Structures are given as structure tokens and as C-alpha cells.
Amino acid sequence: MQFLKIPDQPPAPPYGLELNTTMQTVATVVLWLGTVLLLGYAVRMALRDRSPFPVLLVLAVAVGSIIEPIYDIAYHLHWLDDGEQWTLFTSFGLPQPVWVMPAYVMVFGLPALLFHRSLAAAPSLRRVFGLAGITACTTAAFEITAINLDLYVYYGEAPWRIAGYPLWIAFMEAAQITGFAVLAAVLSLRATRTVHLLAIFAIFPANFAFDVIGAGFPTIIAQNTSADPDGLLLFLTAFVSVGLAATALWWSSQLLLTVRRTSLPASAADGTEPSVEAAARASSRPSSFVPPRPGTPGRDHQEIA
Amino acid sequence: MRQIPDDVKAHELDLVWQQVFTWASWAIVAVMLVIAWRMCRRERTPFYLLACLAAGVAAFAEPLYDVAFDLWFFDVHHGQHGAAWAHFTAFDVVQPNWTHSGYVILYSSACLYVGRAMFEGRLGRRGLFLVWLAEMLTSCVFEVVGTGTDVYTYYGSYVLRIWNYPLVIGVLEATQVVLFTVLAVQIRKRVSTPWGLTALLAAFPVTMFGANFGIGSPVIIALHLDDPASSRGIVWVATVLTIGLCVVAVNGASRFLPRPTGVAEPDVVPAEPALVG
């Protein structure tokens, strides 16, 4: 039985910190402008490919951004708000700035939009984990910049902190971002009817939670068992979480390789880099998953590959 | 941050039902472990025991679920905290030890009763949806008892409640079980050594949160909007949307069911020497 008084936990957000309103304006304008441009690019891509998938992908990420408060409460992210924040909505008592949605589109949607077709055409573990390495760096750069410009903070004890940013989060986000690109590639290959593409609206939040919360839980729980958690414990659990995230990404990659394997030569079947010629040869053969009907998304991918 | 209503925090725990939940659930787990052990011996695989272990270990993630879905385990007796047989507290939510046994019962039992059929490719799309419905029923029975006997509560402004139990919780949990079971069986199909099956320890939390937090995100966010009273319509829409997404997810999972024994899986590459470059 537990007779002891429960300690205060977890740490409370630093409500008193001042928001940098200039940077709020910059972030809002730049990110919404970027989102409009990206959506325009997606529309162009959709018209060229005769498939609504690029547009649906961007919209799925935008709609999926409502998941952010769950992330905030789990990872101790606090959007600064001293009465000056331009708030989109509030959930869990955490006001969400208007630029959260375009930030999702630019940080999470952009890589998937740019890379899902090449991943579908010639997938390999090296490409997937290479992309994850790049997105870990870009995410860290984005977040360190935003934190140090007084837009938000990660409060409380956190492992691997560099310039105010808990670096382990970059790896978790990289797994999520790359995993989404991989699953988008899988969906584009497996979909045989346009309506199937709507599954992207379920895939984005599920993959987000799958990687960020599911794999992150050892560290998240350790952070929230006390107002002053053990630093060494957090340092170690972060390795466990990053390991789980890498495993989850590996699984997603295996799914993509499996889907593509039936139409790729054996050299690519073991996850090694397929040659351009091999990918081209493979793409010239009909996939068992995608009936070669003109006008379908699968057909479009055959052409793109 | 979230506010737990004072009347919920001060609600008295029913000590008799705590006893029932603790002893009965651990007894059921003991029986399940015996069954799992016998199945493991017969089929020469640690799959079934590891499925139970994966669910039991992942119960340490329960506080995250409690925060998102407004679940509160009662902990007060005669006005004093500390009545729950708890082993840790996170996010302020006291965790009774039977969360681990509850996880094993609710989330790994499908591996025991349908895992082999699925592994041998004898379960199709219709069968998977029947498993989904069965899991929904099991979840409803377990949780209707728990929430109806002053052991714990879902205090959020849910809609579609069966007695005290929000239906959407049962739908999400059943979806989680389906996703975990399909992934677990696929892992079993693909690993070459028993050690490879320890991947189930990772498969459980990722599928659990992928389903509950990912597919369930509309309802989680809707429940925690600024003014729950005025957002009731949004909660309705989010609940229906979430249930719809669960149907999509189960249908999607059915595409990854193993094929019957003797039929090649898609990743078994047919020999095409002429194309090897």
C-alpha cells in the first residue's frame, strides 16, 4: 500500500515567460506563406500525376496538427503566452499558436511530399535512414532556433539538452517524419482506388503517436514520475526511446520494401541500394499490388518510377 | 494544464472491489500464462509468453493514457489518500498494480485465442472484424465493471456512454488489440530466431499509442477544449470520426493478414535470374 504523500508532479509549465511577439509575426507569416506555396506545388504535382494524393498528403498533415497538445503535455512543451499569443485553439489548457498548423505542414509534410515518390520507386534502408539523419538535423535546427527566439520552451528536467533543446526529441521526430514519408509511399503503391488514398488522414496521426508517444514512453513516464526526476535515469531511458523509434522506422521500412519487393529484382530485395537501372527495369513491369489501369494513383507511380 | 475535478479526486475507492480486481485479474493472468506456456512448448516458440510480457511491461505507459482519456484511479478511503495498492505515480495519477494484469488480459489474450489461426493464414477479413467486435465486448465488460464499482472512472465529457463507460474507449482498445496482434504475428512469421520475438516488447507500445493517441486524437483534443459544455457537438463529431477511423484501421490491418500455409508471402521473391542486375 502507498501511504506516503504523493509528491508534486510533474513540473508546472513556466507561464510567466514572455513571448517574442516579433518572432511570432515572422513565424506566422513565413510558415503560412510556405504552406500556401507548398500546397500550390502539391496541386501542380497532383494535376501532373492525375492523382489527388499530393494534395491529400498536405491536408492530412494540416488536419493532423490538432494532435499537438498531446505532444505538448507528454514532452513538456509550453508555447509562450503572456496574453500576446495569436491562439488557434486551446486544449488541455495549452493555447496553440496559429503557426502550429503551417509548422506541421512545413516540417512534417514537406519531406513526405518531396520524398515519398522516390521512396516508392526505389526504396532501401540506406535511403530511409539517410533521410532520417537529415530530418533529425533539420528538426533540431528548427527547434533550437524557435526556442532561442522565445517562441516556446521545453520545461522541466529533460535528457540530452543542447541550447535549451532536449536533443533526443530530434531523433524521435526524425523517425516520425521519415516514417510518414515511408508509409505515404506504401499507401501510394497499395492504393488501387482513389478513395483508398483517404487513409492518409488516419496514417498521419497514427504514425505520429506510433513513433513519438509509443516509442517515447519510457522517457516520458520517467520525466513525469516526479517533479525532479533522476538525470541519469532520463539519460538512459532516452537511449531506449530512440532505439524503439529506430525499430519502428525499420519496421515501416520493411513494409515498404515488402510491398515493392515483388516488382523489384533480387538485388534490391535485401534492402541494399538498387541501381537506377534496376529500379527502372522493375518499374517497367506491372506491380502485383497496383493494377496497371490508366489514371489510377498506382499507375501514376509506375510512370513516375 | 488539465484540471481534475475535486469530486473525482476525493471520490472514495471501493476497497472490496479493489480486492476483487487485484486478485481476480492476477489469477486470470496466472491461468493465461499457463496456457501460453503450454502453447509455447507445443509450438516451440516463446511467442505467446512474450505477447503477455509485452502487454504487462507496457502498462508502465498507462499514465499517459490516463492523462489523454481522463481516466482516474480512485485512491481515497475515509478522506485519506493512499488507499490504492499502487506501485508508482506519474502525471499525478496513482497506478494500481492490477493495471499490469489488466493489460495482459485485455490486450494479449487475442494472441492466445487467435494468434495461431492468424499465423497459419486461417483468419480472413471477416474473422478479423469478429475479433475486433469480441475485443470490444471484452473491453466493455471489464471496464463497465471497473467504472461501475468505484474503482476508477472516465471523468471527461464523453458522449455515447454505456452506463459509465465511454463506447469510443472500447472501440479504440479493440482496434489497438487488432493492430498489435496482426503486427505480432507478422513479426513471428519473419524472425529467424526466438530472440527476434523480443521485438514484441517494442510492437506493443507503438501500436497502443498509434491506435489510441493517433486514431483517437480527434476525441482526445475535443474532450480537452477550453469549454467542454459548449464543445459537446465537437465531441460528438470527434467520437464518430474516431470510430470511423478505427474501421479504416481494422480494414487496413486485414490487408496484412498472413496468407495460408503453402501460399507465398509477398516478400518471398520468386526466382528471376534474368532480371538480377
Question: Would you state the cell numbers that stand for residue A10, as one nine-digit string?
Answer: 510533474
Q: Which of A214, A257, A267 sits opposite B209 (nearest CB)?
A: A214
Please give the share of chain A, as a percent, with pLDDT higher than 90: 62
Asked if B215 is an interface residue toward chain A (Cβ–Cβ < 8 A), one would say yes
pLDDT greater than 50 at residue B274? no
pLDDT at A8: 56
Look at B124 and A283; give whichever has higher pLDDT. Answer: B124
Q: Answer whether B214 sits within 8 Å of A205, measured CB to CB.
A: yes
pLDDT at A264: 55
- On chain A, the residues whose CB falls within 8 A of the CB of B74 are none
Alpha helices by DSSP H, listed for A65-123, are 68-75, 100-104, 110-121
Least confident of A179-183, A245-249, A258-262, B80-84: A258-262
Residue B199 lies in domain: 6-258
Residue B132 to residue B55: CA distance in whole angstroms: 17
Rounded to the nearest angstrom, the minimum Cα separation between A98 and chain B is 16
Nearest 5°: the CA angle A242, A143, A137 is: 55
pLDDT at B237: 94
Nearest 5°: the CA angle A4, A5, A11 is: 130
Query: CA–CA distance from B181 to each of A109, A182, B150, B250 (Å)?
Result: 30, 22, 31, 11
pLDDT at A276: 39
Q: Answer whether B224 sits within 8 Å of A93, measured CB to CB.
A: yes
Residue B107, domain member (yes or no): yes
Q: Count Cα neighbours of B98 within 13 Å in the Cβ-side half-sphere.
A: 21
Contact between A261 and A268 under an 8 Å Cβ cutoff? The reply is yes
Q: Hey, what amino acid is at A249?
A: L
Sign of CA dihedral B206, B85, B21, B51: positive
pLDDT at A15: 79
pLDDT at B272: 44
Look at A281 and B98; give whichever has higher pLDDT. Answer: B98
Alpha helices by DSSP H, listed for chain B, are 6-9, 15-43, 47-58, 62-69, 98-119, 125-148, 167-190, 200-209, 217-223, 232-254
**Number of helices (H), then strands (E), in chain A:** 13, 6
Asked if A266 is an interface residue toward chain B (Cβ–Cβ < 8 A), one would say yes
pLDDT greater than 90 at residue A277? no
Q: How many domains does chain B have?
A: 1
pLDDT at B1: 60
pLDDT band for position B267 (50/70/90)? low
Tell whether omega for the bond before A10 is within 30 degrees of 0, i.e. cis: yes
Asked if A280 is an interface residue toward chain B (Cβ–Cβ < 8 A), one would say no
Q: Answer whether B206 sits within 8 Å of A244, measured CB to CB.
A: yes
3-state SS class at B121: coil
Per DSSP, the residues of A166-203 read ETHHHHHHHHHHHHHHHHHHHHHHH--SGGGGGGHHHH
Please give the share of chain B, as a percent, with pLDDT higher than 90: 75
pLDDT at A229: 85
**ipTM, two decimals:** 0.80
pLDDT band for position A285 (50/70/90)? very low
Rounded to the nearest angstrom, the minimum Cα separation between B39 and chain A is 26
Sign of CA dihedral A98, A100, A106, A112: negative
pLDDT band for position A10 (50/70/90)? low
- On chain A, the residues whose CB falls within 8 A of the CB of B277 are 265, 267, 275, 277-278, 281
pLDDT greater than 50 at residue A3? no
> Residues B2-59: pLDDT tens digits?
678 889 999 999 999 999 999 999 999 999 999 999 999 999 999 999 999 999 999 9
Contact between B181 and B118 under an 8 Å Cβ cutoff? The reply is yes
pLDDT at A293: 39
Q: Among B210, B179, B99, B1, which residue's Cα sits nearest to residue A213?
A: B210
Mean pLDDT of A151-159: 91
pLDDT greater than 90 at residue B135? yes
pLDDT greater than 80 at residue B82? yes
Asked if A128 is an interface residue toward chain B (Cβ–Cβ < 8 A), one would say no
Angle between helices B167-190 and B47-58 (to 10 degrees): 140
Asked if B95 is an interface residue toward chain A (Cβ–Cβ < 8 A), one would say no
> Residues A22-79: pLDDT tens digits?
999 999 999 999 999 999 999 999 999 899 999 999 999 999 999 999 999 999 999 9
Chain A residue with Cα closest to B88: A225
Residue B50 to residue B184: CA distance in whole angstroms: 10
Look at B265 and A277; give whichever has higher pLDDT. Answer: B265
pLDDT at A279: 47
Q: Who contacts A136 (Cβ-Cβ below 8 Å, separation ≥6)?
A: A170, A171, A173, A174
- On chain B, the residues whose CB falls within 8 A of the CB of A89 are 225-226
pLDDT band for position B227 (50/70/90)? confident
Q: Answer whether A201 sits within 8 Å of B245, measured CB to CB.
A: yes
